[in-house]
Structure 1
Amino acid sequence: MADIKGHAFHGLVEKHGIQSAERLAYIDFLLRFTGGLSRSDITNFFGLGDAAASKEISFYKAQKENNVDYDRVLRRNGILRETYQPLVDIDADTALGMLANGFNKTKLQHKPIIPYSRVGNSPKILDVDLVSKVTRAISSKNIIKCHYMSGSSSNHGERTLVPTTIFFDGISWMFRAFHRESNEFKCFNFSRLKEVEECPQDFANNNETIESDADWQLTTLVHLTLHPSLTDKKKAEIRQEYDLDIDQDEFVVSEKAALIYYLVWHWKIDTADTPDMNSSYNFFLGNGNTLKHLKCMENVFR
């Protein structure tokens, strides 16, 4: 599939009007990032009847006839990977946000309702073509073959992954996948992806789906105490930030076991057996002994 930019959304609005532009953009979005759509996707999202939804899909095909074809077996309109060219220009960060939170034409217009800025944007712009291959695989439960620049391993060879879900760790967009070579589920950073090859005829096995990912399905309690190395002033600031009572030193949060590593990193949690008094931690982990038995905690307790 060629990595060619589409039109800016405002160009579609000028040409077809806001209503048609939004419907065209939605169809293009579903094709590109989920791999296909059915008529019910249009009827449910826009509240249209079946005939009107069919008309919208036909109108899209008239704009981009080489993007989509009807699959009579799956009974849905599927992307034509080799010839697809995006109708609407969209960056990977916006696309991932809408996959997580719902399609929003305002995001395509880049016009926030009130002044807005995002701190700490990575200088590396995610490759929207690579991202779309991963998200299509998630939607279709297919595998991908890719090269991944791991920060914890020198093995940068080809990997066979079964992507299952996306998540945002507070800084970066990530995805979870079953890694066939190691026979386990792992988390991957979109920014570390290199070449990605889709394998639309190779489907996930039962043990490779998100339902079989025990560490993703398990939500566990994390017992936290304000770190004893903190000054009274710093403790008061953290109580305010985390909505604790004025004299509260302990609290409990729940998190997916697979994501506790990121919680520890971003919240500055001390996971040692005893608190490190010469540190800049915010919290001390009080129930580390009950979490250590989980395999996904290996990086947490290094």
Structure 2
Amino acid sequence: MMDELNFAQKQRLAYIDFKLYFTGMLTRSEIVGHFELGLAAATRDIKLYRELSSDNMEYDNVEKKYFITKKFKPLFEHDARRTLIKLANNISDGFDAIGDTSFPIESPSPLNVPNIDIIAKLSQAIIHNKPINVIYTSLSSGSGARELVPHSIVDNGLRWHLRAFDRKTKSFRDFVLTRITKVTILPQIPDSDESKLEDHQWMRIVPLQIIPHPNNVEYPTAIQLDFGMEDGMLEVNVRAAMAGYLLRRWNVDCSEIGTLAGPEYQLFLRNTQTLYGAENLAIAPGYQA
């Protein structure tokens, strides 16, 4: 039956599938608003989706919404990397197809790709503000169960992290997505001190003043062009929790007077004092508290 549908129908069904999988719920008005359809047309799309996947959703008469069921199996294949990019940019079309056009663009091969079912459960928990129980494997303590209250999924430039309150250590931490092997959404309501607003490292914005390296770059104009610097400087506002990742990714020399040598260090952090109190600075090149 799927082969008999046209592209527009498949796109609307993919949207329904995406909304259920990654938010756990769907309303007719969302379909109407997203595709500029009438209510009758949206109703037909939902009916068609239910004919193709009868166990994927159920209607709640009180909330007037369709909710994902425990028997849910995605009707479409959702690529993990593309889905994370969609979630990061609030794109919810659900459709991974890019047509027949081949673009002459290459990107680095990813070394780790998170499990799509894990991404879906985490996304649902964050949207509905629910704590989770996970099986997590760390480098220091191996595999074990943890209770977390997640609030964001983060791309640190090399891999994807979950930012969450860890009930074991009673602190906000980063958890690598690929090390999470099981997620169970808990029915509780998190305490106020577990909310994103209490994650001070996340809420604090740090201004980074980045300039061409004073010792390693012979022609600083080239670096200014590379990074679109104005008046010889690039100012980047970043969350304190993310500063270390960004500085490592771009090999920004964070020593006080630019002492790191080597062709990889083309950038220098002019205002190192702004990093005081930020986390993850052990990975910031050359930084000393």
TM-score range, shorter chain: 0.7 to 0.9
Does the Cα contact within 8 Å between 2:211 and 2:233 map onto a contact in 1? yes
Change (3 A) 1:227 1:263: same
Does the Cα contact within 8 Å between 1:228 and 1:277 map onto a contact in 2? no
Is 1:256 the equivalent of 2:239?
A: yes
What does residue range 15-94 of structure 1 map to in structure 2 within 5 Å? 15-81=4-70, 83-94=71-82
Is 1:222 the equivalent of 2:208?
A: yes
- 1:242 maps to amino acid: F
Change (3 A) 1:298 1:278: closer
- 2:154 maps to amino acid: F
How far is the alpha carbon of 1:295 from its aligned partner? 4.7
Is 1:242 the equivalent of 2:227?
A: yes
- 1:282 maps to amino acid: Q
Picking from 251, 271, 284, the partner of 1:268 is 251
For residues 93-131 of structure 1, the C-alpha deviation after alignment (integer angstroms, 9 at most, x for no partner) is: 1222222231346x5224374514442222443211111
For 2:236 and 2:217, the matched residues in 1 are separated by 23
What does residue range 1-302 of structure 1 map to in structure 2 within 5 Å? 12=2, 14-81=3-70, 83-101=71-89, 102-104=91-93, 108-111=96-99, 113-151=101-139, 153-199=140-186, 201-233=187-219, 235-244=220-229, 248-279=231-262, 280-295=264-279, 297=281, 300=284, 301=287
Change (3 A) 1:215 1:116: farther
**Deviation larger for 25-34 or 222-231:** 222-231
For 1:97 and 1:290, the matched residues in 2 are separated by 30
Does the Cα contact within 8 Å between 2:137 and 2:143 map onto a contact in 1? yes
How far is the alpha carbon of 1:297 from its aligned partner? 4.6
| Unaligned segments of structure 1, at least 5 residues | 1-10
Instruction: Show the counterpart of 1:8.
Output: none
What TM-score comes out, normalization by structure 1 length?
0.83
What TM-score comes out, normalization by structure 2 length?
0.87
How far is the alpha carbon of 1:29 from its aligned partner? 0.7
Does the Cα contact within 8 Å between 2:245 and 2:283 map onto a contact in 1? no
- Counterpart secondary structure, 1:164: strand
How far is the alpha carbon of 1:77 from its aligned partner? 0.9
For 2:281 and 2:60, the matched residues in 1 are separated by 43
For residues 212-241 of structure 1, the C-alpha deviation after alignment (integer angstroms, 9 at most, x for no partner) is: 3222222221122322231314x3432221
In the comparison of the two structures, how many residue pairs are matched? 284
Change (3 A) 1:211 1:116: farther
- 2:204 maps to amino acid: L
- 1:186 maps to amino acid: R
| Unaligned segments of structure 2, at least 5 residues | none
Does the Cα contact within 8 Å between 1:215 and 1:296 map onto a contact in 2? no
Change (3 A) 1:121 1:144: farther
Change (3 A) 1:24 1:136: same
**Deviation larger for 165-174 or 129-138:** 165-174
How far is the alpha carbon of 1:143 from its aligned partner? 1.7
- 2:138 maps to amino acid: S
